[in-house]
Structure 1
């Protein structure tokens, strides 16, 4: 985030520092207590508008006074941004070296490199898929917004300088940037949500909005005749954004207009209106605003490490302590690092030192990512458990992409007859190593096996998976999968999913259309609509002569998670547990009795063959969590590892052979 301190070229406005305090407060509260303030992420949008306003104001004034230089602009940005960023990233890297395990530390190294190159948003965009690890385990996740701003700084001063000599050139450039970025953002929000959230192209309109306010204020001051009314409207829009925006679904899109227009109005009102002068401009708000940049930098790493060390979400008291610690560190960083650097009499040496330091931590990050710099904690004792994490077999190297309508599926080719379509989520995708090897070995006699799947997407037509930022295409992909399965060349269809998780009492990330409106799980009407839709979809396939298999959810739970097989302290040493938890089938059935009963009922009513993986995986009421060599057989609480799938899973054999009907009857 852009820091305060541009008073050398434009008049200082305390109310803008107060507005920064509002922005950072929203973000911090959202990150610490997301269920209490689900819309707090709009604080980033407020920051973007402020940055666009201040940067454009500085550039325009320097251009008018004929003293603007590209070099001078970037020197000022380095002095503002680098000091606190270098301190925080190095602290995160050092603490990560002390408490993280091998794969965690390697990922941190990757993110340190991205931070040094100011491309964190692009890296996180590439990591926005289903199989990526949780965002709370990424201590530098929040630097994506800094990446957007730095990419803005690369383009903005050069573009404004080029347009300055042309009459209305700057206004035309601002309008085109704002309009084009906003319209593309609307499209991307519904078609590529991860891009819409992390791409600079879809965010530049927010910075350009602040730039447009800056341009207008150079033409007339005050901007509007009734600043009290303008500031009141701005505050109202911000409040509406906090109240009405319920999550990151469909964001930024049109919803971002609320925080963006609200911030523009508050800035345009000037610093003499009551709200700006007495609410935003009071001493406490200004003090927090002055340290908003280091506060933003510190708060997320502390919360993230709290989650990593605890192994779960920190308690509310712990979160409060971490937030206060971040605020204290922000004040220390501001007074002991930022201000001394900015007041340094030898500016040239200060800039050289900052650039060198930034390059050094980028090199350190690269060394960590490459494994040249090892973590403190020895990992040999827990290597088999850490090696199990992210041990995934999808997509298989032998797979070939298959475009069907707007969806991208994967297919494996064999030497037999007939086509099997596998519909499902990541639970179905985990079987890819089994299918690939079976086709290579001639164990399966299929001509084609198509994985019409999408991780995290409930394989029921019409279902919506939240948040859309992570699951942008579930509804269309699932619809295409069922449409593909109905094709004439398809003779066998297998449906599998993480059923018991979707229909669990705690599940609130799935919606189903009920009576023309979306209802959210676990509401009973939404559950009933999902069961009815699944039955109707299978009935259509059965009426078309397809043989259909409905696979129940394999055993799943924390007992399978390799991380649960490790004990010890992050501040000492992690070692294998000697008392591995026993996984009991009776408890699994008891906890998931209702969805299991309903799925078996659907299979019976539609003439579908049900497959219960428990019958194969578990013996005498107990399911193994490790193999004979003590290696975890799952990569997480839900998904089996490729070696185990290839060697132990046999319940899909009927669906992958032409004689499957006879085998199923047997």
Structure 2
């Protein structure tokens, strides 16, 4: 977020096109940064705090457009001058924070973690963090809290805005109503595409500059209108009250699982526009937003934003879990203190430097240097402090995934994209499920190549994180945008005449756990969330109906129960030590017992077995293959973790030990070996 301030940043334009300071806009910045920080620190308390980013976007669009319009009308605008001002505002705090993050990451991170940080440092230097995070978005991406520079995506959007905006406005300035037409078209086009992308490409809608420009253009439109009349509208108190109401409604009504930005973003965007358009004369603007404490926080909102997320992220990384509430509060206060220090000791001295040319050259050189450092870290030329050899096998197991397999080719079916593997046999098997099914891709690919499976086609009609039950909704949509349609299309594909065998597998016990609240099922015309008993029952009944239809059509159906899972399989649980000292393998790992796994998941396991019995599907329990004598291994004979996380097996283990899919990948039901049991 580019939330900068000096005596000319917060402004209103008068008929003479002069600029005066508006404390209320600094106060509005304080509101915005407060929303974001509270959301990141305590998301369960304020699930809508991310709308603070949208408030920042509107403010930036207003300020930048106002400055450009003033310079254009005074014939003082130059592209070079514009970017010189941006560099002096943006670079000092950004360079300070990113270098601090890189140095601290070098001290506490392990190899894979440090390499990813290097990638994000390089992206920050090029102002493309939003594009990099967009490319990483997806089910298999690691948790956002493990990315200390995640928050720089919004700064990337603003910098891309700065590349386009001044040039476009300068070109439109000489045309009558050219500026107004440009603002209106940008706003309308970006907003309409954002509506489409929110429902069809949620990650793009969130991170793409194209879908965010309308928010900045909204502020720009207010700036343009205020050059004609200031304050823009009559009854400033009424307008500012309306704007504040919209912000409050956004904070109350918008949830983390909403389709965002989309139409929901209108609440914070229009609310911010109204507060700015009301001028600085109303009680809300003058007394609330213009309060000295609010103004002071607004003045340091940019460095506060930059510091808060790395501190919270490193807190999570060091603790290995969410920090305690008091720890998070201390980290937020530390971020605020660092923000004031950064403002006083770095930002202001640089901006007031008498040798502006040398200051700009130094800032650009420093930015280029930390970009090079990021590339070196990503390439492994600059390595972390902590020796990683002792825990290399555990860290190397992370993100060791086999989906999609290189031999796969995309298969577009109706509105969904599936993956197909071709063989030399007869018949078609469709695999329906989530990432638990996708983990079997290396096994299927190798088996088809070796001729062990006699299928003509094996189609992975899967979607990570999506429970394979028709009608189910998985939230949030940013991460699970197409679950409902993909699962519906998968079952339709399975019903095709050319398909003779269907296999259904998923993280069943995870979905039906008592804590799961991110799955919803339609019940009596309304969506009800897990773990409500009615939602569970609707999911079980729908799954049984779907399988029964396939069995009625004469297809073989295999229902695969969930393989052993839990934190004991997670490679990260196999190491111990201090991030400030050295990490080493654990020697006190307890055995993973089948008895406890069955006990903890007895209810969904028994229900799935009854569904198989009622429909004539063949139930398969992976435990009978993976575990022996009541104990499930977490590492192989060489000590290598066999899972990549608590749920998913690694490709080498799937290919060598998983045999329970063999009957489904051959034309006839074969004899079941001792390592597999059909219940």
- Which interval holds the TM-score relative to the shorter structure? over 0.9
Paired position in structure 1 for 2:322:
313
Moved more, 7-16 or 298-307: 7-16
- 1:5 counterpart SS class: coil
The one-character-per-residue Cα deviations of 1:228-276 (angstroms, maximum 9, x if unpaired) are 1000000000000001101143000000000000000000000110000
State the aligned residue count.
666
Paired position in structure 2 for 1:25:
34
Paired position in structure 1 for 2:154:
145
Counterparts of 1:13-92 in structure 2, within 5 Å, are: 13-92=22-101
Pair 1:98-2:99 in alignment: no
Paired position in structure 2 for 1:532:
541
Paired position in structure 2 for 1:570:
579
Paired position in structure 2 for 1:329:
338
Gaps of 5+ in 2: 10-17
The one-character-per-residue Cα deviations of 1:504-561 (angstroms, maximum 9, x if unpaired) are 0000111111111111111111111100100010010000000000000000000000
Residues 418 and 448, structure 1, Cα contact 8 Å, conserved in 2: yes
Q: Please list every run of at least 4 consecutive aligned residues from structure 1 whose deviation after the TM superposition is greater than 3 angstroms.
A: 661-666
**Rounded Cα–Cα distance in structure 2 between residues aligned with 1:315 and 1:583:** 28
Distance 1:515 1:6, change over 3 A: farther
Residues 6 and 58, structure 1, Cα contact 8 Å, conserved in 2: no
Paired position in structure 1 for 2:419:
410
Paired position in structure 1 for 2:4:
3
Moved more, 217-226 or 330-339: 217-226
Choose the corresponding residue for 1:392, options 361, 383, 401: 401
Residues 621 and 678, structure 2, Cα contact 8 Å, conserved in 1: no
Paired position in structure 2 for 1:341:
350
- 2:335 counterpart SS class: helix
Counterparts of 1:165-184 in structure 2, within 5 Å, are: 165-184=174-193
Counterparts of 1:597-612 in structure 2, within 5 Å, are: 597-612=606-621
Paired position in structure 2 for 1:275:
284
Kindly state the Cα deviation for residue 440 of structure 1 after the two structures are TM-superposed.
1.1
Distance 1:147 1:6, change over 3 A: farther
**Rounded Cα–Cα distance in structure 2 between residues aligned with 1:6 and 1:171:** 27
The one-character-per-residue Cα deviations of 1:578-600 (angstroms, maximum 9, x if unpaired) are 12221111111111111111101
Paired position in structure 2 for 1:372:
381
Moved more, 515-524 or 559-568: 515-524
**Rounded Cα–Cα distance in structure 2 between residues aligned with 1:303 and 1:429:** 33
Paired position in structure 2 for 1:132:
141
**Rounded Cα–Cα distance in structure 2 between residues aligned with 1:357 and 1:242:** 38
**Rounded Cα–Cα distance in structure 2 between residues aligned with 1:216 and 1:651:** 68
Pair 1:507-2:508 in alignment: no
Counterparts of 1:588-599 in structure 2, within 5 Å, are: 588-599=597-608
**Rounded Cα–Cα distance in structure 2 between residues aligned with 1:382 and 1:61:** 59
The one-character-per-residue Cα deviations of 1:140-165 (angstroms, maximum 9, x if unpaired) are 00000000000000000001111111
The one-character-per-residue Cα deviations of 1:424-459 (angstroms, maximum 9, x if unpaired) are 000000001111111111111111111111111111
- 1:105 counterpart SS class: helix
Paired position in structure 1 for 2:592:
583
**Rounded Cα–Cα distance in structure 1 between residues aligned with 2:678 and 2:103:** 61
Paired position in structure 2 for 1:634:
643
**Rounded Cα–Cα distance in structure 2 between residues aligned with 1:380 and 1:662:** 45
Residues 653 and 660, structure 1, Cα contact 8 Å, conserved in 2: no
Residues 27 and 297, structure 2, Cα contact 8 Å, conserved in 1: yes
The one-character-per-residue Cα deviations of 1:11-40 (angstroms, maximum 9, x if unpaired) are 110000000000000000000000000000
- 1:259 counterpart SS class: helix
**Rounded Cα–Cα distance in structure 1 between residues aligned with 2:314 and 2:231:** 46
The one-character-per-residue Cα deviations of 1:291-343 (angstroms, maximum 9, x if unpaired) are 00000000000000000000000000000000000000000000000000000
**Rounded Cα–Cα distance in structure 2 between residues aligned with 1:346 and 1:19:** 32
- 2:397 counterpart SS class: coil
Paired position in structure 2 for 1:233:
242
Residues 3 and 29, structure 2, Cα contact 8 Å, conserved in 1: no
Q: TM-score, normalised by structure 1?
A: 0.99
**Rounded Cα–Cα distance in structure 2 between residues aligned with 1:458 and 1:360:** 46
Choose the corresponding residue for 1:545, options 548, 554, 563: 554
Paired position in structure 2 for 1:615:
624
Residues 148 and 310, structure 2, Cα contact 8 Å, conserved in 1: yes
**Rounded Cα–Cα distance in structure 2 between residues aligned with 1:168 and 1:64:** 14
**Rounded Cα–Cα distance in structure 1 between residues aligned with 2:402 and 2:505:** 17
Distance 1:513 1:476, change over 3 A: same
Kindly state the Cα deviation for residue 408 of structure 1 after the two structures are TM-superposed.
1.0
The one-character-per-residue Cα deviations of 1:448-477 (angstroms, maximum 9, x if unpaired) are 111111111111111111110011111111
**Rounded Cα–Cα distance in structure 2 between residues aligned with 1:610 and 1:202:** 46
**Rounded Cα–Cα distance in structure 2 between residues aligned with 1:225 and 1:596:** 65
Quote the RMSD (CA, aligned, Å).
Answer: 1.0
Residues 547 and 661, structure 1, Cα contact 8 Å, conserved in 2: no
- 1:480 counterpart SS class: helix
Counterparts of 1:122-521 in structure 2, within 5 Å, are: 122-521=131-530
**Rounded Cα–Cα distance in structure 2 between residues aligned with 1:158 and 1:244:** 38
- 2:417 counterpart SS class: strand
Kindly state the Cα deviation for residue 616 of structure 1 after the two structures are TM-superposed.
0.7
Pair 1:660-2:661 in alignment: no
Kindly state the Cα deviation for residue 661 of structure 1 after the two structures are TM-superposed.
6.4
The one-character-per-residue Cα deviations of 1:155-195 (angstroms, maximum 9, x if unpaired) are 00001111111110000000000000000000000000000
Moved more, 213-222 or 242-251: 242-251
Gaps of 5+ in 1: none
- 1:320 counterpart SS class: helix
- 2:76 counterpart SS class: coil
**Rounded Cα–Cα distance in structure 2 between residues aligned with 1:396 and 1:182:** 37
- 1:285 counterpart SS class: helix
- 1:449 counterpart SS class: strand
**Rounded Cα–Cα distance in structure 1 between residues aligned with 2:54 and 2:187:** 14
Kindly state the Cα deviation for residue 6 of structure 1 after the two structures are TM-superposed.
5.5
